[in-house]
Structure 1
Amino acid sequence: MTMSIFTNPSCFTLVLVSITLVLALARRFLRSKKPKDQLPPGPRGWPIIGNMVQMITNQPAHLWIHRVMEEMQTEIACFRFARFHVITVTSSKIAREVLREKDEVLADRSESYASDLISHGYKNISFSSYGENWKLMKKVMTTKLMSSTTLSKTIGYRNLEADNIITYVYNLCRLGSTMKPVNVRDTILTYSHAVMMRMMFGQRHFDEVTENGGLGPKEKEHMDAIYIALDCLFSFNLTNYIPFLRGWNVDKEEAHVREAVHIINRCNDPIIQERIHLWRKKGGKDMEEDWLDILITLKDDQGMPLFTFDEIRAQCKEFNIATIDNTMNNVEWTIAEMLNHPEILENATNELHMIVGKDRLVQESDIPQLNYIKACSRETFRLHPANVFMLHHVAREDTTLAGYFVPKGSQILVSRLGLGRNPKIWDEPNAFKPERHLDGHVENSLGTTLMEPEMRFVTFGTGRRSCPGTKVGASMTIMLLARLLQGFEWTLPHGQSQVELISAESNLFMAKPLLACAKPRLAQGLYPKIQT
């Protein structure tokens, strides 16, 4: 998105004017002189603005950042963008220091136009500052919404959509030729969005029901807006580091995120408002049925509603964003890699035949035994993460990392890509080899899991600010992958010998949606009727 700065002359002029303003005004933002202690190594920068020019002229910035680190042969680097020190990490040892030893010291979040707008003023768990309000939200998430009790109560929703998705693909095969390619990404998004909607709102669609099991127009619009918001959250742009420019739409990105948030609110808010009225004005329902019910019915010590409307809508928007990208990205890349490695695809389907068979559909209860399929998913998380960096961690006070000085307010970026492809950690780091996760280093009494406590790569995050929905996210990912592999024989389209494994620039999703041919491999009666 930020490439538009340079293709639009007037916008580029505004950027240059803005940088001039920064040169004149930034001194009042700087709290002190250059720290006396040694910062991590980094590229030489300009006075006052630091490395801002390099960041703007080297898009996408994440490629430039990693290239600089490789040239400097360092696994920790410091970039200065105006008054902000941005410290990047590609070492598992230093990542463990960030997320374990210095976890509390580095527990704050950075502010940006996108995160402010998406979270309605930092009112959700991901973007709120570390403090009592955040601790309250974290407690609610872990003990209420993501508790074993709640996840058990909502397993029916997840099973329903696991049934729907294989029937959706089965119907696509029946409507045309079994050799007609299926858009695998659209299939995954249909499942991910439907599960998220069921668990959050207790319904699959916003209004119009689709009979074929796919997304309706409003769901597609909602999904597109979620992905625009995600791109804006993880982008490097001028206003992230020059706060007084926020609201001017300098790089055109603010207009994109405003429109995306407007669309999400237009979809979500009527459901939230109606449900609040039901619970707080009309006596509610017999029982809490979904995440929204729980958020609305929680009370404080005085018996008053624990969360305001804005806090509820902010948290629902976080559910929208957090439950989509990892599952979509992981399953699409995994199937793509399997198509390029038929022996891996065969090993995965053989495991399903041995553990589950062909007389019933795979269930969540089978997941602990599907070690090879989980190893494939782990390998995809290592090699093809959804985003380059984890969400920012911000230093709440002066501290150190790897012996280097880290000033208060520094942003710490742990590189998912850098960890997963670090040649000091992994042999053949660019090769897709699921067996590397079955060598005994990740085994325990429960078998292979998606978690990686040693921070050799990142799945759903870890540490104090980790994703509280790790368990449900892992279940969604493995269930979808297992159902698609069990239900269909996947092959490349006619005339194609390999899938082109190229990442997008703004994120690390596949640059083009995966197309593959699906042929049903189970008895017709095992593909249930679509339930809307």
Structure 2
Amino acid sequence: MAMDLEQTLNFTVVVPYSKPVFSLFWLPPQKCASYEYCSITSQRLSSFAICLFVSLGIFLVKTKFINIFTKSKNVPSLPPGPSPWPLVGNVLEMWRNRPAYRWINRFMKELDTDIACICLGKTNVITVNSPEIAREFFKKYDAVFASRPLTVNTGIFSRGFLATIVTPMGNQWKKMRRVLIHDVFNRSKMQWMLQKRNEEADNLIRYIHNLSYNGGSAGQVVNVRTAAQHYTGNVMRKMMFNRRFYGKGSEDGGPGVEEEEHLSALFTLLLHIYAFSVVDYLPWMRVFDLDEHEKKVSEAMEVLKKYQEVIVNERVQQWREGKKIEAEDLLDIFITLKDEDGEPLLSNDEIKAQITEIFLATVDNPSNAAEWALSEMLNQPEQLEKAVEELDRVVGKDKLVQEHDIPNLPYITACLREAFRLHPISPFNVPHLSVSDCIVAGYFIPKGSHVLLSRLELGRNPKVWEDPLRFDPERHLKDGVATQQVSLAEPELRFITFTTGRRSCLGSWLGTTMSVMLLARLVQGFTWSMPPGVEKIDLIEADSLLLKDTPLHAHAKPRLPASVYPMN
């Protein structure tokens, strides 16, 4: 059949004698005299047209037959959505209305629905805006929707699905999940890493103090995004590789060129690995890479390999040669894990893939939430004052906040919950794949569907949240009073932090700790105010990753005694 189709589509490029221009237009035989060769005959063109129309007819008949069959069996309909075109579904609309999430949110509002179905090629993409429906998917039917779709870019970045987050259900996922639960994110390992996290929390204060004190006692304007992302990157480099910098860093304690390039590559991956790419729904279009997602992901991976693989390869060799006998970081843990036969449990590629996933899972949300929270609090100074008062009362001014203080900082935690609710870093959660047909919310969800929870619309759903576009931390406190312990987790899926079920975030404790420590250290260590000439911080979102469109620049002035700040 493939050969027949190849013969049917045997187009030969038509080249005029006079011009080096390629022509793909068929000309009747009587008009081909001025051409060297014309192989597309009217007979072959007719065959191609017949083949196309027969395929289209089969598709339409098949679709109609399925619809009639399912109705006769009293199977519920698919969720509402835009009418698809034959063969390509709604890919053209998706391509034309970028970014796709705005188009999806818009037509869901027009249809007045909390669940929709978009047909992209042969794939049904189910989008959900309602916590109740979300809980039905991922609590009641968690086993059905616990797998992941295979996409071009996730395959590249996970080295063929060797890690955890994007790997479909199966033995590989179970193996890597066990490693993370028992050997990485357990209580003893996290306590073992406490000193490394403390060093980077201190370095955050040192870095900003160096920047702000350069302006004298009056302080200085600081790029908060750079500081926040530098902190999250440092924490993971220290825990993973026992080092802060890939190079020498900068003189003020901030990131060097190497760290900035590494972090930029991570955020490029975050932007593209689950973007709505045409080739994920129309695989035959991969050769064209129309949106260049594959190219950008491949380039970002080369940057990560340049910095990470050298360290991994060198460390593996050290253990093999007996030059290293004691584990100092998570990389050592991965390398020294053994199977039942005493052989290395993880291959080098598995280690490298899992390291990349851990970096991706930890650098984005804490830094994004802290930047948005401080931006909103600067526009509502009374909230910033409450956060400062809580820190002064719980921790005092003669020492820096520590991880053991976190349970006693409900208002700071509530500010972060509100940032996660109102300003998620991405429009949707990581997609889930249905492994069998299922009925959810009264609709038929076919096997192979991709299920997406809208982070943006869940957190801003007016049926759930009063005045949803207002940043109000007190909505997360009982009667608005910051007395009880508050968690960043949201198991009821009214907004998304660490999700729930089999695919919930395994590093939720670490994510919470990094987020709270980052915001708490920023608020405790410095008096923040508007930059000169600015009356209000803009709250405009970027189009794709929902970072603040422009980095937050705010005036920072040291507020604690000089002896409290870590020395250079």
Asked if these proteins are the same fold (TM beyond 0.5), I'd say yes
Partner of 1:212 in structure 2? 252
The corresponding residue for 1:62 is 101
Match of residue 10 from structure 1 = none
Relative to structure 1, is the Cα distance of residues 274 and 26 closer, same or farther in structure 2, using a 3 angstrom cutoff? farther
2:263 matches 1:223: yes
Distance of 1:436 and 1:91 partners within structure 2: 19
Structure 1, residues 453-501: CA drift from partner, whole Å, max 9, x if none?
1111111222211111110011000001000100000000112111110
Name the SS of the counterpart of 2:229 in structure 1. Answer: helix
In the other structure, the counterpart of 2:526 is 488
For the residue of structure 1 that corresponds to 2:467, the secondary structure is: coil
Q: Superposed, which structure 2 residues align to 1:145-164 within 5 Å? A: 145-164=184-203
Distance 1:171 1:26, change over 3 A: farther
- Are the counterparts in 2 of residues 323 and 473 from structure 1 also a CA contact under 8 Å? yes
Cα offset, 1:437, TM superposition = 0.3
Taking structure 1 as reference, are residues 167 and 428 closer, same or farther at Cα in structure 2, changes over 3 Å only?
same
Deviations 1:157-197 (A, max 9, x none): 11001011111101001223545311000010111110010
Question: Residues 87 and 359 from structure 1, CA distance in 2 versus in 1: closer, same or farther, beyond 3 angstroms?
Answer: same
| 1:52 CA displacement | 1.1
Q: Pick closer, same or farther for the CA change 1:153–1:83 going to 2, 3 Å.
A: same
Residue in structure 2 matched with residue 9 of structure 1 by the alignment: none
Of 485, 489, 495, 1:451 maps to 489
* Within-5 A mapping of 1:366-377: 366-377=405-416
Q: Secondary structure at the match of 1:508?
A: coil
Establish whether residue 523 from structure 1 lines up as the match of residue 568 from structure 2.
no
- What is the letter of the counterpart of residue 470 of structure 1? S
Specify the structure having the higher radius of gyration (Cα).
2
Q: Check the 8 A contact 1:141/1:468 in 2, yes or no.
A: yes
- CA–CA distance in 2 between the matches of 1:60 and 1:79? 15
Specify the SS of the correspondent of 2:195: helix
- 1:316 aligned partner: 355
* Contact residue 107 and residue 130 of structure 1 kept, 8 A: yes
Q: Aligned residue for 2:25?
A: none
Q: What is the SS of the residue equivalent to 1:317? A: helix
**TM-score where L is the length of structure 2:** 0.86
Quote the residue 2:447 is aligned against: 408
**Does the 8 Å CA contact 1:30/1:83 hold for their aligned counterparts?**
no
Gapped regions of structure 1 (runs ≥ 5): 1-19
Contact 1:27–1:48 (8 Å) recurs in 2:
no
Change (3 A) 1:53 1:161: same
Report the CA distance shift for 1:54/1:499 in structure 2 as closer, same or farther (over 3 A). same
1:49-448 alignment to 2 at 5 Å? 49-176=88-215, 178-282=218-322, 284-286=324-326, 288-439=327-478, 447-448=485-486
Correspondence list, 1:35-46, <5 A: 36=70, 37=75, 38-46=77-85
Residue 236 (structure 1) shift? 1.1
Gaps of 5+ in 2: 1-48
Q: Residues 70-112 of structure 1: CA distance to partner in whole angstroms, max 9, x if unpaired? A: 1111100000001000000011011111221111111111122
Q: Provide the rounded CA distance (Å) in 2 between the counterparts of 1:45 and 1:214.
A: 51
Report the Cα distance in structure 1 between the residues aligned to 2:428 and 2:325, rounded to whole angstroms.
Answer: 42
Provide the C-alpha distance between the structure 1 equivalents of 2:479 and 2:229, rounded to a whole number of angstroms. Answer: 33
Whole-Å separation in 1 of the counterparts to 2:553 and 2:286 = 40
Describe the shift of the 1:338–1:244 C-alpha distance in structure 2 as closer, same or farther (beyond 3 A). Answer: same
Cα deviation, residue 441, structure 1: 11
Shift of 1:302: 1.2
Give the superposition deviation at 1:350: 0.4
CA distance in 2, matches of 1:284, 1:333: 43
SS in 2 for 1:344: helix
Is the alpha carbon distance of 1:27 and 1:295 closer, same or farther for their aligned partners in structure 2, counting shifts above 3 Å?
A: farther
Separation of aligned partners in 2, 1:399 and 1:374: 37
Secondary structure of the 2:512 match is: helix
| Distance in 2 separating the partners of 1:100 and 1:324 | 28
Query: How far off is 1:118 after superposition?
Result: 0.5
Question: 2: distance between equivalents of 1:260 and 1:29?
Answer: 39
Opposite residue 479 of structure 1, the aligned amino acid is M
1:426 Cα deviation from its structure 2 partner: 0.5
Distance in structure 1 (CA, Å) of the matches to 2:221 and 2:61: 58
Q: Do the aligned residues in 2 keep the contact of 1:82 with 1:242 (CA within 8 Å)?
A: yes
Asked which structure has the greater RCO (Cα within 8 Å, sep 6+), the reply is 1
Please report the TM-score for the alignment, with normalisation by the length of structure 1.
0.92
* Per-residue Cα deviation, 1:497-531 (whole angstroms, up to 9, x for no partner): 1111000001111000000000000011111124x
After TM superposition, give the deviation of residue 246 of structure 1 in Å: 2.6
Residues 1:406 and 1:475: Cα distance change in structure 2 (over 3 Å): same
The answer (yes or no) to whether the contact 2:59–2:86 under 8 Å persists in 1 is no
Maintained 8 Å contact 2:116/2:127: yes
| 8 Å contact from structure 2 (residues 474, 480) kept in 1 | no
Does the 8 A contact of 1:26 with 1:82 survive in 2? no
Aligned 8 A contact 2:229 2:367 in 1: yes
Cα deviation, 1:419-465, whole Å, max 9, x if unaligned, reads: 10001101001111111000269999x71111111111111222211
2:546 is matched with 508
User: How far apart, CA to CA, are the structure 2 residues paired with 1:26 and 1:490?
Assistant: 63
> After superposition, what is the alpha-carbon deviation per residue over 1:293-335, rounded to whole angstroms, capped at 9, x for unaligned?
1111111111111111111110011112111110111000000
Contact kept, 8 Å, 2:150 with 2:168, in 1: the verdict is: no
Report if aligned partners of 1:182, 1:516 keep a CA contact under 8 Å in 2: yes
**Cα distance change on mapping 1:28 and 1:179 into 2, 3 Å:** farther
SS across alignment from 1:489: strand
Relative distance call for 1:244 and 1:309 in structure 2 (3 A) is: farther
